[in-house]
Amino acid sequence: MGQNGKYEFNPDLNPSPTPNTYFKTTLIGINYDLQLNLIKRKWGCFFISQGIGLMRFTPKDQHNDKLQTKLSTRAKGEDYNNVTFVFPTKAGVMFFLPSWYAIGLQAGYLNPTSDYLDNISNWGIKKKKDNILTIKISVFIPINTNKTGASPEVSK
């Protein structure tokens, strides 16, 4: 969600512009990440990850109307698809608790290839692609625990 009450645009780019100064975008995505454990100790690990995926997004105005079909809210000739590739880049830490439980904290950017998450590109103030900051807190609960105290991966 975002809002810019001081939004400026060039009306020469569209003869009857009605730029959106407010947007909220719903999104859903799927991605695959490769994780590299930088530091791994008995107490936990620090890691980084890089991924690739697809994301579908739907920008809407303050009245909950979809902006993708409102061509007057963008510069003339701007049209876009609401499905985009994402390249998630993340870093995090995981702390192991007794009984193989763990908690984690992770932060990163989704890095979508679209510049239309807010429904504008040419009229935007920044000339960079839109981006999404993600912060995730996780709790890991083991499905199978070994009563001997050895790690679940060890088998004899």
The pTM of the whole model exceeds 0.85: no
**58 lies in some domain:** yes
Which residues touch 25 (CB under 8 Å, ≥6 apart)? 1, 57, 58, 59, 60, 117, 118
* Side chain identity, residue 32: Y
* Side chain identity, residue 41: R
Residues of the chain under the 70 pLDDT cut: 1-20, 123-128, 145-156
**156 lies in some domain:** no
End-to-end CA distance of the chain: 53
User: HEC profile for the chain?
Assistant: CEECCCCCCCHHHCCCCCCCCEEEEEEEEEEEEEEEEEEECCCEEEEEEEEEEEEEEEEECCCCCECCCCHHHCCCCCCCCCEEEECCEEEEEEEECHHHCEEEEEEEECCECCCCCCCCCCCCCCCCCCCCEEEEEEEECCCCCCCCCCCCCCCC
**146 lies in some domain:** no
**104 lies in some domain:** yes
Q: How many domains does the chain have?
A: 1
**63 lies in some domain:** yes
**84 lies in some domain:** yes
**68 lies in some domain:** yes
Closest among 87, 90, 96 to 136, alpha carbons compared: 90
Given this model, what pLDDT does residue 131 score?
Answer: 87
CA quadruple 147, 151, 155, 156: dihedral sign: negative
For residue 96, what are the domain limits?
2-140
**78 lies in some domain:** yes
- pLDDT single digits (tens) 41-84: 999 999 999 999 999 998 888 888 888 888 777 777 787 888 99
